[in-house]
Chains A and B, each alone.
Chain A
Amino acid sequence: MTMALVLDASLVLLIVGIATWTVVVRDAFPAIAGYAVYGLLLALAWVRLAAVDAALTEAAIGGGLTGVLLIRAAVRLRSTEAAARAESPGPLFRLFAALLAAGFAALLAIVILGLPDPAPTLTPEVAENMAVTGLGNAVTAVLLAFRAIDTLLEAVVLVFALIAVWTLTPDDYWGGRPGPKYATDPDGLLAYLGRLLPPLGIVVAIYVFWIGADLPGGKFQAGTLLAAMWLLTIIAGLQDPPPVSRRWLRGLLVLGTVVFVAIGFAGWPLAGYFLAYPESHAKPLILVIEAASMVSIAVTLGLLVVGPPERSNGS
């Protein structure tokens, strides 16, 4: 066994171990803390699988944003945990569930270990056509050129998810500010971090966005980082999220999709079909779409974590 394989085996054991912990541990808090660590370990697994773009996304979303989202929910649902424990299924049901889950996992393992060799792949097609896009990062080329329609629809899904979250607003608070008002010590550690980190985070996010054309990075990773910085200033009590009725806010939410669709339609007269880029201008157009999408993704992800309005406009 080589050294690298020992490393991989330890990483896999750690990941499976922490995943087991998040399922079996008694309270919600340690489970969610475990999940955040799990997200970071999974990002390492992605690095080992040579998918650094996915690693960055997993670390930022799996380790960061999902953790913040679940911790906030766990705080508010703390009183319900005892009642839920009383509803725990009996040993027979648990045994049945374990057998079913193990059987399904075994089936998946058999299928994936028996995949044909050499693996079917679209790599040659991507490598052949990448020069046309002017991009150096193959993943960005797939996201923004070859499969741009998927990425466009995904941007729409994000906005729909936020609309669905907002529909859960109690009538009295419609149009108001989302989330509770955070009052923290203005000289405390959180407020200090809230002032210190965002300028650095914004610079790193713009860098991650900019290099995304040629190296691992891009609008999702950068947008998530911007959302995290925004959330930090909100939780530190340094600023309040804007009321959801604000027109500029709604404009920012759909900016990425609107720019994407507009450039998509411009592809018809300019390059022959929807979402086609004229060859000489592919890269600048992709960067414009990415920049607009990054802003929309950051605002949407941030608001998804904060949740529906919980206060009227003034408070």
Chain B
Amino acid sequence: MNMLNLYALCGAALVGLGLYGLLAVPHPLRKILSFNLVGSGVFLLFGVIARRGAGHGLVGDPVPQALVITGIVVAFSATALAVALLLRLHDETGAVSLAAPESGRPPAA
């Protein structure tokens, strides 16, 4: 087991954990958090791929590294938007449930 495989398995495990949280944890804020776990796991896989491509005097392939940096910033802006949507939903309805409204009745306006 070398070091890169270790971090590759870590990235895969984080994606799995985040996916489980996304499905099984009911609170939407926790789902957003879980989604960030998926994202950081994918980024870590990119990090492993970048490190594998080292050579020519560079410690890693800078292209995936640059993608990860933009990715982290974009993931943050998406998280901020999701949180803002959630807070507005809470301000409007007083709840944040994602459960389907009871059948036959439209959700209360």
Contacts and interface: CB of A to CB of B under 8 A. Distances in A.
A28 B69 contact: no
B52 A115 contact: yes
Nearest to A60: B72
A142 interface: yes
B37 A19 contact: yes
A161 B27 contact: no
Contacts of A19: 13-14, 17-18, 37
Contact of A66 (B24, B63, B76): B76
Interface of A: 4-5, 8-9, 12, 15-16, 19-20, 22-23, 28, 31-32, 35, 38-39, 42, 45-46, 48-51, 53-54, 57-58, 61-62, 65-66, 69-70, 73-74, 76-77, 80-81, 83-85, 87-89, 93-94, 97-98, 100-102, 104-106, 108-109, 112-113, 115, 119-124, 126-128, 138-139, 141-143, 146-147, 150-151, 154, 157-158, 161-162, 164-165, 168, 170, 220, 297, 300-301, 304-305, 307-308
A103 to B, nearest CB: 8
A93 B24 contact: yes
B73 A8 contact: no
Contacts of B69: 53-54, 57, 139, 143, 220
Interface string B78-102: 1111011111101100011111000
The contact size tier of chain B is: 35 or more
A220 B76 CA distance: 12
22 contacts: A4-B3, A12-B9, A19-B17, A22-B21, A22-B34, A28-B29, A31-B33, A32-B33, A45-B7, A49-B4, A50-B60, A61-B73, A70-B29, A73-B29, A84-B26, A87-B97, A101-B23, A112-B8, A123-B58, A143-B69, A154-B70, A168-B84
B15 A147 contact: no
Contacts of B3: 4-5, 8, 48
A297 B20 CA distance: 33
